[in-house]
């Protein structure tokens, strides 16, 4: 019985403990949920509030962004941009780059050039800090081209300054300063840009560091003072401690400049003013480290070095030029403190990082060169295609112009030829039926009658003018020629009777009609016509073809060829072109209905 009670008591105790444990867990869960459910006040859930606390309380700024993201109070790209800026202010550049890249690829930014230029400036700043020689020039040129197309001097100046800074880093100091100073002048001339002083402050700070690296200390100090003046100008009051953070950067750089100018007391004063600011700037830590190294205050360097390493490790930026410089500076500090083993270790790590970075840089350079070659090939290909296209279009235009003028010229020539042919035909029929002398003309008219009855359409005035132009001696010589009357009679009979219309009409027929020896026919025809026997017969047929084409526009070429005594239309077209320099169709297009009547047989 006692054992049973003992067991029951133990079970009760265990169950009580289990219950108490469960109740404790439940209370703890409820309490944690209550804490988690306690939201930030609505007055803080704005993008301005996130920027307001960015420098003085980054944790609160992150909570504001996370709460707005959970509630979806703003578009995703705006929250990504705000978080990227927060990470940038904390020098977590790799993490910031991921957000900036996502914002840049968003549809809202791609559709708005103004937003696109804003994001491009942030991308360029990150790639510059990371010493990225692959993407930095690409985005810089993209920003410049976009700003130029929009006539935006603000972003043109930013892109130009970054391009000059990069040229200076690559060793072209003269060109680098020239571009940076041009960018400064361009920004100074800008009006109504609320971030003008902040951008100029950044420009002056970079120029001060560039001049310091080149040992141009007087110019560096001048730019440092200009940087201080721009930092003291009115700024956005919504961002807490912006002026103090800017002055922190000013005095950190100035301490180095004054130290290099052997103005040690002023350098120490600038350093004290730097560290007395209520906020620090991780971005400028290396300038402080450089100053402390010059002053051989190695122990003071160590906290800054540890902070730099912690930031780089948190950002996942362990294989970078910034990490290599951090290990090198740590090696310098340990060596100054006579801790040679630690210094040796830091130098070794820095050397390994340098080798790996050199390999990566070589590979990137190789890829960049390859991409450049491919791009140049594509550009050359497109240029060739454009050249061929424009050359082809130009040739077509030239060919069209030449064709137009050629057609016009040919039409003009054909009209002149048609007129000339008509004049020849008028003169031809006039001379056939009215002879070649004024006194002989009357005789032939008495013998032959009216030439109009035989198909002539002579223009007496024109014919008389032609006769008047002939020399009397030439006419007398022609009448004394014994073969002239034989040729004239033969030619008249051929035309009058239309003998040439017979496809078989040839040399033997001409010998019979002329009444001359067979061997004398060809010289006689050549003497008075300048051609041979077949040419003379074809000339009669072509003259007749001219008449038919003129007075019978409805005739086909086949019908005209057959009427002229030529069996094949192709042969007819060839003879016509050889005689008149144009085809029958071209001649027909140049004339209207004529005055000729065909010779009757």
Secondary structure (3-state) at 323: helix
424/529 Cα distance (integer angstroms): 13
Q: Cα(404)–Cα(458) distance, rounded to whole angstroms? A: 37
**In the predicted model, what is the mean pLDDT of the chain?**
79
Q: Report whether pLDDT(161) > 50.
A: yes
The pLDDT-based confidence of 292 (bands split at 50, 70, 90) is very high
Contact partners, residue 259, CB within 8 Å, separation at least 6? 267, 291, 294, 295
Confidence of residue 488 (pLDDT cuts 50, 70, 90): confident
Closest CA to 200 of 213, 215, 190: 190
CA distance linking residue 283 with residue 457, whole number of Å: 109
Band (pLDDT 50/70/90 cuts) for residue 400 is confident
First-to-last CA distance in the chain?
164
Q: Which residues neighbour 408 within 8 Å (Cβ) at sequence distance 6 or greater?
A: none
Q: Which two structure tokens, joined as six digits, stand for 429?
A: 């029929």
Per-residue pLDDT at 189 exceeds 50: yes
467 or 58: which leads in pLDDT: 58
Q: Name which residue leads in pLDDT, 517 or 420.
A: 517
pTM (2 decimals)? Answer: 0.58
Rounded Cα distance between 358 and 326, Å, is: 17
Give pLDDT tens digits for 521-580: 888 888 888 889 898 998 899 888 888 888 888 889 899 999 999 989 999 999 898 888
pLDDT value of position 438:
40
Alpha helices in 90-152 (DSSP H): 93-105, 107-110, 113-129, 135-149
Give the model's pLDDT for residue 385: 83
443 pLDDT higher than 50: no
Q: What is the pLDDT at residue 34?
A: 43
Q: Which two tokens stand for residue 43?
A: 């007055």
Share of the chain above pLDDT 70, in %: 77
Report pLDDT digits (tens) over 446-464. Answer: 433 333 333 333 343 443 4
Of 520, 525, 523, 550, nearest in space to 537 by CA = 525
Q: Taking 60 as the threshold, does the pLDDT of residue 354 lie above it?
A: yes
**Given this model, what pLDDT does residue 446 score?**
40
Cα–Cα dist 413/418, whole Å: 8
**Secondary structure (3-state) at 150:** coil
User: Looking at residue 473, what is its pLDDT?
Assistant: 60
Q: What is the pLDDT of residues 82-93, one digit of tens each?
A: 999 999 888 899
Specify the pLDDT at position 396. Answer: 85
Which domains are seen in the chain, by residue range?
A: 408-590 (1.10.10.60)
Report residue 367 CA to chain centroid gap.
Answer: 24
What is the arithmetic mean of pLDDT over 95-103?
94
Q: Which two tokens stand for residue 276?
A: 């007395």
What pLDDT is attached to residue 530? 86
161-164 long-range contacts, CB within 8 A, separation 24+: 161/203, 161/206, 162/124, 162/128, 162/136, 163/137
On the question of pLDDT at 193 being above 50, the answer is yes
pLDDT of residue 431: 45
Give the whole-angstrom CA distance, residue 466 versus residue 431.
10
């Amino acid at each position: 019985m006692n054992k049973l009670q003992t067991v029951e008591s133990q079970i009760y105790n265990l169950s009580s403990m289990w219950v108490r444990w469960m109740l404790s867990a439940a209370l703890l869960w409820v309490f944690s949920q209550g804490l988690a459910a306690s939201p930030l006040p609505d007055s803080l859930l704005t993008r301005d509030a996130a920027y307001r606390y960015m420098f003085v309380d980054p944790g609160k700024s992150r909570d504001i962004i996370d709460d707005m993201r959970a509630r979806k109070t703003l578009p995703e790209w705006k929250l990504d941009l705000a978080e990227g800026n927060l990470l940038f202010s904390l020098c977590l550049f790799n993490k910031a780059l991921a957000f900036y890249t996502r914002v840049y690829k968003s549809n809202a930014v791609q559709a708005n050039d103004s937003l696109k230029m804003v994001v491009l400036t942030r991308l360029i700043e990150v790639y510059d800090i990371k010493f990225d020689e692959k993407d930095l020039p690409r985005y810089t040129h993209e920003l410049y081209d976009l700003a130029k197309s929009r006539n935006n001097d603000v972003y043109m100046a930013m892109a130009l300054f970054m391009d000059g800074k990069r040229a200076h880093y690559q060793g072209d100091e003269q060109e680098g300063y020239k571009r940076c100073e041009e960018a400064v002048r361009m920004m100074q001339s800008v009006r109504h840009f609320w971030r003008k002083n902040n951008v100029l402050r950044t420009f002056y700070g970079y120029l001060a560091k560039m001049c310091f690296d080149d040992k141009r200390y007087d110019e560096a100090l001048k730019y440092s003072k200009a940087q201080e003046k721009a930092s003291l100008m009115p700024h956005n009051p919504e961002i807490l401690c912006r002026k103090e953070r800017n002055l922190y950067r000013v005095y950190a750089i100035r301490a180095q400049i004054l130290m290099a100018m052997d103005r040690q007391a002023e350098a120490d004063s600038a350093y004290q003013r730097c560290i007395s600011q209520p906020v620090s700037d991780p971005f400028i830590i290396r300038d402080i480290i450089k100053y402390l190294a010059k002053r051989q205050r190695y122990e003071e360097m160590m906290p800054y070095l540890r902070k730099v390493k912690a930031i780089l490790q948190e950002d996942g930026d362990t294989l970078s030029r910034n990490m290599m410089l951090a290990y090198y500076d740590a090696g310098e500090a340990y060596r100054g403190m006579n801790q040679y083993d630690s210094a040796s270790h830091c130098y070794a790590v820095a050397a390994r990082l340098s080798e790996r970075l050199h390999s990566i840089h070589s590979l990137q350079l190789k890829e960049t060169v390859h991409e450049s070659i491919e791009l140049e090939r594509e550009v050359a290909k497109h240029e060739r295609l454009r050249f061929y296209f424009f050359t082809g279009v130009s040739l077509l235009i030239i060919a069209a112009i030449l064709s137009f003028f050629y057609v016009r010229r040919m039409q003009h020539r054909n009209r002149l030829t048609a007129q000339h042919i008509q004049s020849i035909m008028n003169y031809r029929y006039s001379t056939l039926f009215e002879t070649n002398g004024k006194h002989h003309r009357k005789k032939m008219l008495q013998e032959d009658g009216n030439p109009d009855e035989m198909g002539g359409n002579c223009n007496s005035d024109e014919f008389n003018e032609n006769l008047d132009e002939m020399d009397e001696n030439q006419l007398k010589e022609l009448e004394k020629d014994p073969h002239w009357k034989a040729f004239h009679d033969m030619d008249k009979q051929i035309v009058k009777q239309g003998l040439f219309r017979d496809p078989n009409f040839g040399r033997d027929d001409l010998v019979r009609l002329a009444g001359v020896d067979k061997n004398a026919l060809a010289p006689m025809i050549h003497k008075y016509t300048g051609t041979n026997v077949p040419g003379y017969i074809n000339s009669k047929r072509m003259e007749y073809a001219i008449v038919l084409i003129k007075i019978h526009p409805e005739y086909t070429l086949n019908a005209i060829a057959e009427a002229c005594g030529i069996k094949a239309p192709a042969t007819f077209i060839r003879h016509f072109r050889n005689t008149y320099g144009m085809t029958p169709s071209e001649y027909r297009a140049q004339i209207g209905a004529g005055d000729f009547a065909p010779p009757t047989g």
